Structure 1
Amino acid sequence: MLIKMLIYWFSIALFVQCECFNIENDVEASNIAAVQYNDHDKIRPCSHFDLNCIRAYFKQHSSCVVSHGPVPDPLKLQNIIFHLPHANMSFVLRNSNVGGLNGKVVEFYVNKKTHKLVLAAEMKEVTLESSQMIAKYSRKAKEPIELNDGVSGNYGTITFTTVFPDMTNLYLAEAETNSYIEDSNVKYYIGPKMSTSAEVAVSDSFDRVRKNLGLDLQEGFVFLGPIFMANFIQYNICDFGIKYG
């Protein structure tokens, strides 16, 4: 069953500074033609979402260092933390391998009215694997119950959309990222040690996790989406010097 969803997230950023594309006056200081669409407030400064043009825009409107990719495949991340509030659980993934982050840019525009910049990238066959996932079940006035085992998942095609609040001063850490997952029927594996708790409440929580995969993805990618997209941006477009994961 195909389920499409939007997951919103507020991520974190760095200072950026600009001067080349004079978007405010609809004048370009480069030779790349700006493409204007039906909505007169939106301007696409890079024809065909050309990566070199996008890199130039980031360089001239930030303090980041241009990068040319690719994202390592798999990308090794030391520490990923995400939460599933509906199950009252938090997860810490150690030494994770993330695959499929070398996607393509499918949208890039600035909005003169809102002064925001939008960058979207589509990635296929996004995967995540960790031999050490620590699951924490929170309890009132007590330390959490912890379980530890491996996990892996294939999330299929995901479109990540990042919105920068100021199109002329790009701060990655202040950007907002949402994740659009094409199919919630992902392939995943959770090690058997995650089912060994004698606590009924913990077992019930894991049952909720297994039976509500769509909700798991909605909540989990509030945290995972910004990490994946930030690495795409910093490896393929411009490096802000911020470590994500």
Structure 2
Amino acid sequence: MIALKALLYFNILLLCHGQNTLNISNQNITDPIDEYIERPCEIFDKFCIRQFLAQHSKCKPVDGPVPDPLYRDKTTGYAPHANVTFIPIAVTVSGLNGRIEEFYINRKTDRLLLAVEFTNLYAASPYAYLRYHRRAQEPLVYNDFGSINFTSLVLTITIPNLKDLQLERSEVFAYSPGIPVIILGGRFTAQGVEPEVVRAVADIFANFPITVRELMLNDNPFYIGSYIQYNLCDFGLKLI
């Protein structure tokens, strides 16, 4: 078994087609000062936030919570720096009932911003497939369990078009003030595994911040999209 703690920090594929970035951050998000920024609701007033979203989109207010754990058929994580693709199957995600950290609108950029902190967010799969890609050859494929755990993860989503909010065009950005843990089953480095795969797994952990940035590109929008559509307002988007 490989387990590693590392310094780090890290749209839905077909949910949020924006950019998704990950940065290590030990500071709170600073409060923006701009004459165009308005706060129509207090961050603790979910009723107000639900009503605002419903009045400025076609979504339907919902009262949550997110199922815990939340089941996900599969996801795909790419680690191109190591020539690896991970495909976890039957994923369970816990810790998606987060705390709203920021909520405002920007009249100049015509966007709504929502930031949510998730604590002890944990995603695990009993069948995580590792595909090692080779030049002009078929990939080598192995499978075992895998998981990732964040003590704290802050996801910030910006949603365009204040007159008719477009969740499917959102952008998601991620910050982790804590130290996430990735665990991979021992089959990925067991005796008999091709040496290039063993080297790739070692590279994944040796370059941990890059690995997490790459692997989480498709997951961050799923996390905050689930929070929004279970806890605040259902936009009718299928989360995959």
Fold conserved between structures, TM > 0.5: yes
The structure that is strand-richer by fraction is 2
Structure 2: stretches of 5+ with no match in the other structure = 17-31
Of 194, 198, 209, 2:188 maps to: 194
Structure 1: stretches of 5+ with no match in the other structure = 15-36
**Native 8 Å contact 1:10 1:177 kept in 2:** no
**Native 8 Å contact 1:2 1:182 kept in 2:** no
Taking the TM superposition and a 5 Å limit, the aligned residue runs for 1:180-219 are: 180-184=175-179, 186-196=180-190, 198-219=193-214
Change (3 A) 1:148 1:10: closer
Of 82, 87, 93, 1:92 maps to: 87
The code of the aligned residue for 2:122 comes to: T
Distance in 1, Cα, partners of 2:6 & 2:188: 28
Distance in 2, Cα, partners of 1:136 & 1:4: 24
Change (3 A) 1:173 1:119: same
**Alpha-carbon deviations, 1:1-31, whole Å to 9, x = none?**
98464x5x586459xxxxxxxxxxxxxxxxx
**Alpha-carbon deviations, 1:93-124, whole Å to 9, x = none?**
11111111100111111111111111110110
Taking the TM superposition and a 5 Å limit, the aligned residue runs for 1:220-231 are: 220-231=215-226
**Alpha-carbon deviations, 1:163-185, whole Å to 9, x = none?**
1122222121110001111123x
Distance in 2, Cα, partners of 1:82 & 1:180: 18
Residue 151 (structure 2) pairs with residue 161 (structure 1): no
- Give every structure 1 segment of 4 or more consecutive aligned residues whose post-TM-superposition deviation is greater than 4 Å: 1-4, 9-14
**Native 8 Å contact 1:151 1:189 kept in 2:** yes
Report the counterpart of residue 72 of structure 1 in structure 2.
67
Q: Secondary structure at the match of 2:183?
A: strand
Q: Secondary structure at the match of 2:120?
A: coil
TM-score, structure 1 length as denominator?
Answer: 0.83
Change (3 A) 1:69 1:187: same
Supply the RMSD in Å over aligned alpha carbons: 2.1
Report the counterpart of residue 108 of structure 1 in structure 2.
103
Q: Secondary structure at the match of 2:75?
A: strand
* Structure whose CA Rg is larger: 1
**Alpha-carbon deviations, 1:47-98, whole Å to 9, x = none?**
2441111111111111122111101111111111111121111111111111
TM-score, structure 2 length as denominator?
Answer: 0.84
